[in-house]
């Protein structure tokens, strides 16, 4: 472990000997939830379709970056701007003044401050989107406009999307965060679940009439279990999966929204998981966190764009899997603070810190969670670990040290005969770092190219692999089976 000890000495964290001792005991006989190959995902604003060349196979750098996150995954299109989109079978030129303004402009997450300009969605944009999703090997969740659209137009749009995507379409969602409609000006104050259910039903029926095999998901609520649960029960026969959103913090003007708070356990997440658990019990349907990120209203500078968000995001993926979720979509786009991929076609793209968290998850890969217990002398819950049996057969452990300045020495016992473990590290100069994030000592380039240049080997002594996990870092430990 020469490399990590030098790193520790250099940063002045104290000698590794003084680091806390933790023990992670994995129980390979106790398998938990599955992490499927489609677990990972991204979410973009519908407004991004206003530039039909963005989601297009010709946008090779973006394809490369997204593919780096997984050979399969889910792209979700929606967000606030989906409620202001307009489908047309016409070409934009034929529409004169309604033609999309500034194709190629950066489309970041909507901040929700004012109704956005309507986005014109054309058949051309949908065909390019299909080519894009094909190039990724991913699937699509597509948001329609119940907020300001009509059931008839939604049915026309759905027909075109359905015919274009075939099996690559997982589901339509009919709206975005209907539980906030009464607050964001889409509906009058007092708009309640029964009003929404009626509207949802009428859109659903219009689309079903036009596209009998159309798959649906929902309700895509912001956070409200009081909408999620009745929706699940009322529409369980009509949908293929349930969805809700999660923003850990917000708004960005809240001074208590800090890195330190982001990295602590979050009661809001527990409430989300409670709703999700209940719907699973009630309906048996899978649940997807269809839109998530660190801070709503576009994110918070100095938090959402830092290395802390990478640790937060990667851990959220495991927390969700552990709670029984089937997948996640990190929201982003443009140059938003929390976006995993930043940039434009013209200026090029970069992998932001949170991208590296998703990359760590991708490197651990699909599999089945394993029960494991972490004994740690400190009372702060800033050292956490997750274990899995990967589809390749090997046992893996992912360890997060979210301490700002406390290194940890951890003994990992796979409880299965193994001759050696390898360690891939996710590191940066500190929690606040916005650049210089590396996995396996290498960064990701603007086209998604990445390869580790450092993979440590650790021998198994007394049935354990003992490693240092420096403060503000994560480690993926893979055991080689005997
Ligand atoms: C969600 C919206 C999304 C926004 C995001 C935000 O669905 O369109 O971009 O919040 O406020 O509520 O950052």
180 Cα to the center of ligand 1, angstroms: 11
Span of 249-263, 283-297, 371-385, 395-409 with lowest mean pLDDT: 371-385
pLDDT at position 229: 98
ipTM entry: 0.95
Q: What whole-number distance in Å separates Cα of residue 350 and Cα of residue 372? A: 35
| The predicted structure's pLDDT at residue 5 | 32
Q: Tokens 């965060």 identify what position?
A: 177
Beta partners for 330?
Answer: 42, 292
For residue 201, what are the contacts with CB-CB under 8 A and spacing of at least 6? none
What's residue 16's pLDDT? 41
Distance CA(127)–CA(163), nearest Å, equals 10
Distance 356 CA to ligand 1 centre (A): 22
| Percent of the chain at pLDDT exceeding 70 | 93
Confidence of residue 380 (pLDDT cuts 50, 70, 90): confident
48: three-class secondary structure by DSSP? helix
Output the CA angle 58-59-61, nearest 5 degrees: 125
Instruction: Count CA atoms closer than 13 A to 196's CA, side-chain side.
Output: 29
Proportion of the chain in helix, strand, coil states, percent, rounded to 5: 30, 30, 40
442: CA distance to ligand 1 center in Å? Answer: 31
Q: Which of 46, 49, 80, 220 to mutate to test the pocket of ligand 1 (most atoms within 8 A of CB)?
A: 80
Going by alpha carbons, the residue nearest to atom 7 of ligand 1 is 79
Mean pLDDT of 443-451: 98
Contact 132, 56 (CB under 8 A): yes
Per the DSSP assignment, residues forming a β-bridge with 24 are 374, 412
| Residue 414 and residue 473 in contact, taking contact as beta carbons nearer than 8 Å | no
Q: What is the mean pLDDT of residues 275-288?
A: 97
pLDDT tens per residue, range 103-162: 578 999 998 888 999 999 999 999 999 999 999 999 999 999 999 999 999 999 999 999
**Average predicted confidence (pLDDT) for the chain:** 93
Give the span between the Cα atoms of 324 and 280, in whole angstroms.
Answer: 8
The residue assigned the tokens 């929700």 is: 112
For position 94, what pLDDT does the model report? 53
Q: What is the pLDDT of residue 15?
A: 39
Q: What is the pLDDT of residue 365?
A: 97
| pLDDT-based confidence at residue 92 (cuts at 50, 70, 90) | low
Band (pLDDT 50/70/90 cuts) for residue 102 is low
Tell me the whole-structure pTM to 2 decimals.
Answer: 0.94
Give the tens place of pLDDT for each residue, 71-89: 999 999 999 999 999 999 8
- Pocket probe for ligand 1: among 77, 109, 290, 304, the residue whose CB has the most ligand atoms within 8 Å is 109
**Centroid of ligand 1 to alpha carbon of 318 (angstroms):** 23
Q: What is the pLDDT of residue 17?
A: 42
Q: Beta partners for 218?
A: 242
Which atom of ligand 1 lies nearest, measured to the CA of 299? 13
Pick from 19-28, 180-189, 381-390, 462-471: least confident:
19-28
Q: Say what the pLDDT of residue 48 is.
A: 97
278: left (phi over 0), alpha (psi -120 to 50) or beta: alpha
Q: CB under 6 Å to ligand 1: residues?
A: 45, 79-80, 109-112, 176-177, 222, 291, 296-298, 331
Least-confidence region, from 108-112, 170-174, 298-302:
108-112
pLDDT band of residue 298 (cuts 50, 70, 90) is very high
* Of 134, 166, 129, 109, nearest in space to 52 by CA: 129
Mean pLDDT for the stretch of residues 373-391: 92
pLDDT band at 10 (very low <50, low <70, confident <90, very high): very low
Confidence of residue 454 (pLDDT cuts 50, 70, 90): confident
pLDDT, position 290: 98
């Amino acid at each position: 472990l020469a490399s990590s000890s030098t790193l520790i000495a250099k940063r002045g964290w104290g000698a590794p000997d003084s680091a806390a001792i933790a023990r992670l005991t994995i129980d390979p006989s106790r398998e938990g939830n599955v992490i499927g190959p489609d677990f990972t995902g991204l979410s973009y604003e519908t407004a991004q379709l206003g530039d039909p060349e963005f989601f297009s196979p010709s946008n090779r750098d973006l394809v490369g970056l997204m593919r780096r996150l997984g050979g399969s995954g889910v792209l979700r299109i929606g967000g606030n701007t989906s409620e202001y989109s307009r489908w047309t079978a016409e070409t934009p030129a034929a529409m004169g003044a309604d033609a999309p303004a500034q194709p190629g402009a950066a489309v970041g997450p909507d901040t929700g401050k004012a109704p956005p300009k309507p986005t014109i969605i054309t058949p051309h944009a949908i065909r390019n989107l299909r080519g894009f999703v094909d190039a990724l090997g991913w699937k699509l969740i597509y948001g329609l406009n119940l907020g300001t659209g009509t059931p008839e137009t939604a049915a026309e749009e759905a027909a075109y999307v359905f015919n274009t995507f075939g099996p690559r379409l997982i589901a339509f969602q009919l709206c975005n965060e209907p539980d906030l409609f009464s607050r964001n000006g889409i509906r009058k104050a007092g708009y309640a679940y029964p009003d929404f259910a009626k509207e949802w039903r009428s859109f659903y029926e219009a689309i079903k009439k036009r596209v009998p095999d159309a798959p649906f998901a929902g309700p895509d609520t912001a956070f409200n279990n009081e909408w999620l649960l009745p929706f699940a029960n009322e529409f369980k026969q009509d949908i293929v999966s349930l969805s809700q959103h999660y923003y850990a913090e917000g708004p960005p003007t809240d001074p208590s929204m800090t890195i330190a708070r982001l990295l602590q356990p979050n009661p809001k997440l527990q409430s989300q998981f409670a709703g999700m658990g209940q719907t699973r019990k009630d309906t048996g349907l899978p649940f997807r966190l269809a839109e998530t990120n660190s801070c709503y209203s576009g994110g918070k500078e100095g938090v959402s764009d830092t290395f802390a968000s990478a640790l937060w995001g990667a851990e959220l993926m495991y927390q969700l899997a552990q709670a029984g979720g089937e997948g996640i979509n990190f929201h982003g786009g443009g140059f938003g603070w929390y976006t995993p991929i930043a940039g434009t076609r013209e200026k090029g793209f970069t992998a932001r810190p949170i991208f590296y968290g998703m990359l760590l998850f991708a490197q651990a890969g699909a599999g089945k969670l394993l029960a494991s217990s972490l004994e740690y002398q400190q009372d702060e819950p800033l050292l956490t670990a997750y274990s899995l049996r990967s589809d390749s057969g090997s046992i893996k452990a992912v360890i997060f040290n979210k301490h700002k300045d406390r290194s940890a020495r951890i003994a990992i016992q796979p409880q299965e005969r193994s001759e050696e473990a390898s360690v891939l590290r996710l590191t940066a100069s500190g929690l606040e770092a916005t650049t210089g994030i590396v996995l396996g000592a290498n960064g990701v380039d603007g086209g998604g190219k990445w390869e580790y240049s450092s993979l440590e080997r650790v021998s198994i002594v007394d049935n354990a692999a003992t490693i240092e996990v420096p403060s503000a870092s994560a480690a993926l430990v893979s055991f080689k089976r005997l």
